[in-house]
Amino acid sequence: MSEMVKLTIDGKEVEVPAGELIIKAAQDHGTYIPRFCWHPRMEPVGMCRMCLVEVETPRGRGLVTACTQRVADGVLVDTKSDMVKKAQEGVLEFLLINHPLDCPVCDRGGECPLQDQTLSHGPGESRFVEEKRHFEKPIPISDLVMLDRERCILCARCTRFCDEISGDPLIEFIDRGNYTQVNTFPDEPFASYFSGNTVQICPVGALTATPYRFRARPWDLEAVESTCTMCSVGCRVSVQASQNQVLRLLAVDSEPVSHGWLCDKGRFGYEYLRSPARLAAPLVRGEDGELHEASWGDALATAASGIKDVIDRHGPSAVAGLGGARSTNEEAYAFGKLLRSVIGTGSLDARIGDAIDPVLLATGESRALIGDLETAKTVLVWGPDLKEELPVLYLRVRRAASALGATLIVIHPRSTGLDREATHVVRYRPGEGAALLDRLGKGEGDLAAVRAALDEGPVVAIIGRGGLTEAPGLASAVAAFVAGLPGASILPVARRGNVHGAIDMGVAPGLLPGRVAADQAGRDTLGEAWGTPVPAPGRDADGIIEGLADGSVRALIMLGTDPAADHPHRARATTAITAAEFVVSLDLFVTDSNRGADVILPVEAFSEVEGTVTNIEGRVQKVNRVAPGTGQSRPAVEVLGDLASRLGGSLGGPADALAKEIAEVAPAYREITWDGLAWGEGRDGLVAAAPDGGLPIPEPGELTGPPVAGMALHLGRVLYDAGTMVTAGPSLEKVMATPAAHLHPDDASRLGVTEGIAVTVKSRSGEAVIPAIIDSSLAPGTVYVPFNFGLDIGADPGVEVVPVTGGEP
């Protein structure tokens, strides 16, 4: 508890923590002081001058900005005196003299702080008769953001956000005085992954988002609070729709997770929901070999009989399930129950061969929360480039290092978004992680300082898979090492929307719902609850794909998963699925993965179903429904339930009933109910935890070494890859990245490669021709290729890079 001071605000004595700003202290005690530039998540700048209040201290009485003045004992604050009123009216009049007052055609109209505060604190009319200031308007400052400098009131919220919070200061004030304006630097667009936040925090309509411009008036929007599921950070959002279409997402501040920020993929990714390519009716493969629209009854009957046929001929273990990582917990639970209890197979996986050991994700050992970053002395990031994969977690780590003074250690095969804030940056070739861990443990050579920093607790280690060629067990080995350090805790991370929730729901061969090992005892307990036996663990994703290829798995049920794009060996996965005897897919789109399926069932997506999701730290949060799915789409829980009953079983009802069942059978979710998760001020979900301390960190297993021949391939993810969420929406498609082969300058000169020329990247699995980029941040002997752009180079550790003859830049 921090020290408290007593001061008087408008005659009322209040007690507030020492060091608090007057504006915050007043607000916490029911007095709203008008403001434009102050934002509680950013350093005060005191420039709009709207929050002027009169303060009496032993040194005298005068006007001060409440956003810069800190409380002190005995101070008298007057927020409503005649002098304050006149000053505030004066400031508002100044802000309005050059403001275009084009509210009727402004996106912000109706939810505009300038409008609102003009009404509450402003003068009734303007005395300004001169011509207003003019700028060309609006100007695009990126593919996603438009800037209207006439509306801008120069509060610097956007520029400060980029500088302080996101660390990409691509917009800045230029010129001065009356002609001060926000702008980009010449030839450098506002290409920030976080640009949408500036639109949300703009107190006027100066910054607008191209996906939302002119789509709705705020009073026509229906909003529900929910959780962003674009990645697994779990940012709190308000999903807003009009006429059954989601039109925008706004961030909602949550102290433990997002601090009120969103990445642009999360904010603007909703467009896939209304893509014209979205499935509107079930599809069934006809005798002509083509997919045809079918009734739900026919489609479900075909699906059930196909699965039953495989069970009858080859036994239940010939059926497998992939998916669940893009679903709600209730859907994932229903999926697992369908497979295990109704069908009787133990082959199921929410991952697609691209994540770390599910037991590590579910471990109860030394777990950290995101919020622990606030007090961490040392932060270790050994895993993905957070800016590309878990962007808002990147913001939280960046804050820990840049604003809170934590020592940041980043270990990754190439430069990451966090390197600029890092105290120690360690690079290594994929495959050499185990050796590096060994040296780090001993604090050898240049790692001595890093090792020493890890002894400075509290340590929070964010651990994941750095790239897809990395042995999945490396993360377990790193976690075990960190967990052995005093004062250290771990945050094991995988990327996909609700992969943590799906693992928690037991969509992995070795795990049962609630972070329980699928050993005999666990299966017996669950079997008792379900009233059916629970089969022994079967195959994981890679095993399922191998089984499909060799015929030991005959039927596949896919729930919102796209292995043909997302599996590291996508060609192998595609071939295997094509080889399957019978495939049922629950999805939003026809993809390369389900194009050959026998039955495709359209399901409702994010913002169309109610349920829960679980984030990287195990925080369970609600998602809510604000619009219906496209056409005849149905909730996956219902579809899975219908499939179960046609197979002679039962899943136990709609999502809310399943949620109650989860609380009964999944130990880590015992305390979690939808009522307890209802959104509200300061109510930010509940953290699931195994009651008995949970599963230990798993053994790492064999860690593959570096490639024996050729160059080491680093397959990393970028935020705007060619995944469906990006390509199915026009806004994000515009910012989609393009793949390239990144080479260290030494390798490039050895191979005769120059920037921009075409090179062939060859592996045992296949090859791709892509342009080369010279990247001195790589360890020599490494080639980095961003993943999920439809390339067929697989994920073998060793590749060859050959310049294409005549490969002109």
Site residues, other proteins (CB under 8 A):
44-50, 52, 62-63, 65, 68, 83, 86-87, 89-91, 93-95, 97-98, 127-128, 130, 153-154, 173, 175-180
What DSSP state is assigned to residue 572? H
| Residue 44 or 501 having the CB closest to other proteins | 44
| Residue 98 or 612 having the CB closest to other proteins | 98
| Residue 203 or 417 having the CB closest to other proteins | 203
Burial (CB count <10 Å: 0-12, 13-18, 19+), residue 504: buried
93-96's contacts with Cβ under 8 Å and 24+ in sequence apart are 93/122, 93/123, 93/126, 93/127, 93/128, 95/36, 95/48, 95/50, 95/153, 96/122, 96/126, 96/128
Q: How far is the CB of 12 from other proteins (least distance, A)?
A: 25
Cα separation, 158 vs 142, whole angstroms: 14
Q: How far is the CB of 80 from other proteins (least distance, A)?
A: 15
Burial (CB count <10 Å: 0-12, 13-18, 19+), residue 759: buried
Q: How far is the CB of 202 from other proteins (least distance, A)?
A: 16
- Look up residue 787 and give its two tokens: 């993943």
Q: How far is the CB of 561 from other proteins (least distance, A)?
A: 50
Cα separation, 323 vs 592, whole angstroms: 15
Q: How far is the CB of 103 from other proteins (least distance, A)?
A: 19
DSSP string, 23-83: HHHHHHTT-PPP-SS--TTS-----S-TTEEEEEETTEEEEEETTTPBP-TT-EEESSSHH
Q: For residues 393, 394, 399 and 401, what is the CA-based torsion angle, rounded to 10 degrees?
A: 120
Q: How far is the CB of 736 from other proteins (least distance, A)?
A: 35
Q: With beta carbons less than 8 A apart as the criterion, state whether 365 and 357 touch.
A: no
| Residue 89 or 800 having the CB closest to other proteins | 89
| Residues with Cβ within 8 Å of residue 59, at least 6 apart in sequence | none
Instruction: Name the 3-class secondary structure at 98.
Output: coil
| Residue 46 or 109 having the CB closest to other proteins | 46
- Look up residue 244 and give its two tokens: 């059954």
Helix (H) or strand (E) holding 478, with range, is: helix 473-483
- Look up residue 413 and give its two tokens: 């095969």
| Residue 237 or 401 having the CB closest to other proteins | 401
Q: How far is the CB of 184 from other proteins (least distance, A)?
A: 16
Cα separation, 648 vs 733, whole angstroms: 43
| Residue 97 or 663 having the CB closest to other proteins | 97
| Residue 159 or 763 having the CB closest to other proteins | 159
| Residue 178 or 805 having the CB closest to other proteins | 178
Q: How far is the CB of 254 from other proteins (least distance, A)?
A: 29
| Residue 87 or 318 having the CB closest to other proteins | 87
Q: How far is the CB of 56 from other proteins (least distance, A)?
A: 14
Q: How far is the CB of 397 from other proteins (least distance, A)?
A: 23
| Residue 61 or 764 having the CB closest to other proteins | 61
Q: How far is the CB of 377 from other proteins (least distance, A)?
A: 22
Cα separation, 305 vs 166, whole angstroms: 53
**CA angle 474–475–480, rounded 5-degree value:** 100
Among candidates 127, 125, 131, 124, which has minimal Cα distance to 100?
131
With both helix axes pointing from N to C terminus, report the angle between 329-337 and 636-646 in degrees, rounded to the nearest 10: 10
Q: How far is the CB of 502 from other proteins (least distance, A)?
A: 47
Give me the helices (H) in 531-595, please. Answer: 541-550, 563-566, 570-579
Length of the chain: 809
| Residue 130 or 681 having the CB closest to other proteins | 130
Strands 145-147 and 139-140 come out as: antiparallel
